Every structure is written in C-alpha cells, then in structure tokens.
Amino acid sequence: MFGMGFTEIILVLVVAILFLGPDKLPTAMVEIAKFIKGIKKGVNEAKSAFDAEIQVGELKEEALKYKADMDKMTDGLNGFKNIDLGLDEVLAEERKGSSIEPKQDAITFEKKNKIEKEVK
C-alpha cells in the first residue's frame, strides 16, 4: 500500500496513536477514509469524462468519414442526372399509333374552353 511495507504501516499507526490518542483515532481514520474515497471518486469522474470525450471525438471522426463517402457517391450519381436515353423518341413513336397526347411544356386550358363553348 503506497509502497510501504508492514513495518512502516505499524510505525505510522503507533505515531498516530501517540499524537491523536485513542479517542480521536477512530474519527481521524474515518476522515482519512472519506478523503481517500473522495479522491478516488474525482479520479473516476475525470477518467469517465475523458473517455466520453474520446468517444465523442471518434464518433465525430466516423461521421465525417461517412459524410465524405456519401458526398463521393452523390458526385458519382450526378452524372446520371441529365442522361438522355432517347426515351422521348421512343415515346413519340408509340404515341403516333395511340391516342395519348404528346407531352406539352406549357399547361393550357384549351380543352376546358372548347367544352364550355360546345355546351353553350
């Protein structure tokens, strides 16, 4: 204990009994035990706070790695965004034989107006 042997511990106890006396020795031992317990508690709290901080740092590092991977993937997919596969031509060919109207860029209400005119 604290690098002391059995004889040194007995010597410290004898000196404590001589200076404190048998009445104050038990209370002094309790106070010393409380002091040591408080020191241990403080060291454990500091250690747990340090470990938590290290863990937060690791989590942040891992999150940044995942973000970089996701950015790399989305950059790779951005090239596919504006690919023209010739679908407009294929759909135009299909529409020639069907009653599907071709795609219009502007929205008009001509049909509604035609219907209203026919009703009147």
The number of distinct structural domains making up the chain is 1
CA distance linking residue 46 with residue 93, whole number of Å:
74
Question: Quick check: is 59 in a domain?
Answer: yes
Parent domain of 94: 6-99
Assigned domain for 35 exists: yes
Would you state the pLDDT for residue 25?
A: 82
To the nearest whole number, what is the mean pLDDT of the chain?
76
Strands (E), 24-93: none
How do residues 39-96 score in pLDDT, each as one tens digit? 999 999 999 988 888 888 888 888 899 888 888 887 777 666 555 555 666 666 666 6
Q: Cα(16)–Cα(3) distance, rounded to whole angstroms?
A: 19
Note whether residue 117 is domain-resident: no
Which segment, 4-8, 89-93, 99-103, 110-114, is predicted with the most confidence on average?
A: 4-8
Residue 47 lies in a domain: yes
pTM: 0.41
